[in-house]
Each structure stands twice: as structure tokens, then as C-alpha cells.
Structure 1
């Protein structure tokens, strides 16, 4: 599976940043006022909204914003053809797991999904970008495992029954843009901004 491109690192990223988990629930209402509720998602779709306060369209003007950062973001959007293509977004507040629980061995299963806890909620991560350590009952395993994109840990030999499987790794959200258009505003010579960029996570295919 080809790794999607990563959302560019932009020094002009501003405040505030919005991050919204969304579920989908069918609700059937009865004449008595009671409801029947059916959840369609086990895990949420995450929606992000960011603001870019400054982008430079020059190689030398406003160096703190990055040389030609306006062209970099515009080219990134064009390359994805708006909301058609997918990309990886690393959320600075939610992108790493240290010795996180992935499951328990049963002597047969060799593939486990990388996941992270958000409070008490366990959710598979979108795309694992690097794996530092894999542990069986707390013992680091230097070999005998591999990463299969986007988010699977595969052992060459199935971990034994009741063996705790944990890992330290980093991850990103696989996303697509919400819109097929992006509004770039030039408010000074060589200085641009984007008031709002929204994108959402997508399920691994």
C-alpha cells in the first residue's frame, strides 16, 4: 500500500484548532416517546479545522513562514485534486503511544491492530508512521514482528495464550479535504493566509 503524502508543516499555523469526533446513529421514534437507537460507527470520524495566519509566496520575504510556503500548500492541495486524494495529518497532541496495549495472545493469532486509548476509549489508529518497540509481557522484542501498513502488527510466530502485547509507536490520521476549493487571501505583498481548512479522517481501505 502506497503511503499517502503528509500535510505540510507550516510555521504560520494559527489558533484556534478544532478537532471533532463524529458518530452516526439511526433513531427510530415511537408514538409513546420511546426511542430505538442503532449506532452505525464503532469508531468516530474525526474532523479537523485549522487556520493558516501567514504564508509566504517568496523565497526570501518573511523567512519565518518558510520559503514559498504559499506555493507548497497550494501545490499540496492541487496534487490531491481537492477532496479526491488522501493525506496523513500528524496531530501534535495525539500522535504517539508509549507501551500501549494492543491485545492478548491466544497462541493462534499473529496479526494485531495498533490502537490508542483516548481516556477509557480504545480506538484503532489510522496510519502507523514508526514503531520503536514491541513488547510481549513487558519484554522488548527486537525481531519476530513487522509493520504492515496502515496499522497492523504481524508476528512471525503467534504470541502464546494470555501474553500481553504492547508497543511504542507514532501514528497519523489518514484524511481527505472536506472541500474541492481552498480560499487563499493575499493581504500584503508576498503574504497570504487561509482562514479555514477543514478535513476529516477516512477509514483504511
Structure 2
């Protein structure tokens, strides 16, 4: 699988940041007031909205990073708007430690890496690094491999009932929500983006 470009970390990003988990549900209402609800998503998709107060196209303002405009606009152009995908590392939601994500059955060797947020467990969009894998709490220094975006494969099937856990970092595989985005040159040498929206996609 090809390596995806990463969303840049830029000093000119402003507050606030919006993160919207979303589902799709069909709701059929009856005249009695009862409802029949059918969920279409097993796991949520996430929509993000960011604002950038200051981007520069040169090195005139070192505190804003060099060529930050090119970094952000370049990613947008590389993705061709909504078409391509990229990896977004959410600063507040990008790692798991000791995360239990599967149980061995003595035959299965391939497992999807999962994470738990509150009471909800869902697949990780894209695992960026794995520092440790555990079987029943014991670190496994070998015998496993990570396949992008989120699959862990063991050489030997974990035993029946074996708890499979890991320490890892992850990102969200995303696409932009629009085929055009407004980059505003609001004063000499400085640009801004008042709203940049993108959403996660299912691998």
C-alpha cells in the first residue's frame, strides 16, 4: 500500500477545532409514536474543521514556519480536493497504551487493531507505529508484523483465549470535504484559511 501524505503541523493554526463523530441511521416513525431505527454504520466517521489565522509563503515570519502556505496548499493540490486521501494526526487522540484489541482462538493469525474511547471500541484508521505487542500481558519481541493501514499478523496463531494488546500510535485517514478552498491573502505576506473541512474515510 502506498504511503499517504501527512497533514502538516503549522504554528499558524488557530482555535477552535471542531471534531464531529457521525453515524447514519434510518428512522421509520409509526403513527403510534413508536420508531424503528436501523444503523448503517458499525463505527463512526469523523469530520474535522480547522482554521488557520496566519500562513506565509516565505521565511519573513520565522515563528509561523517557513513556507507554511505552500505546505498546506500543496497538500490540498496533491489530493486534488476531495479525491485523494491523507493522514491527519489529531493532537488530542493519536495513541493507545496497553490497548486490548483482540482475543486469540488458536487458528486466526490476522487481527484488526482497535482502540477504546470511553465505552466504545472501534478500528483504528491507520496505525503509524507499534512500540509493543502483548499476549496475556507478555511483550512479544518478534513473531508479528504490521500491515497498513491497521492489520496485525502473527507468524503463529495466538492460543485460544489469549489476550492481544498493544502500545501504538495512529492517525485518521481523511479526505477534504470540498473541491475548492479559500486561501485569503489578507495583508502583505500573510494568508489565512477561515474554514478547512475534512472527514475520515473507511480503509
SS at structure 1 position matched to 2:16: coil
Structure 2 portions without partners, runs of 5+: none
Residue 24 of structure 1 is matched in structure 2 by 24
SS at structure 2 position matched to 1:53: strand
Structure 1 segment 74-93 matched on structure 2, within 5 A = 74-93=73-92
Query: Which has the higher mean CA deviation after the structures are superposed, 146-155 or 27-36?
Result: 27-36
Q: Give the deviation of 1:3 after TM superposition.
A: 2.0
Detail structure 1 runs of 4+ shifted over 4 Å in the superposition.
none
Residue 128 of structure 2 is matched in structure 1 by 129
SS at structure 2 position matched to 1:71: helix
- Give CA deviations for 1:17-54 in whole Å, capped at 9, x if unaligned: 00000000001111212111000001011000000111
Residue 107 of structure 2 is matched in structure 1 by 108
TM score, norm. by length of structure 1: 0.97
Structure 1 segment 46-61 matched on structure 2, within 5 A = 46-58=46-58, 60-61=59-60
Cα separation, 1, equivalents of 2:74 and 2:63:
20
SS at structure 2 position matched to 1:162: coil
Cα separation, 2, equivalents of 1:71 and 1:113:
36
Cα separation, 2, equivalents of 1:115 and 1:103:
8
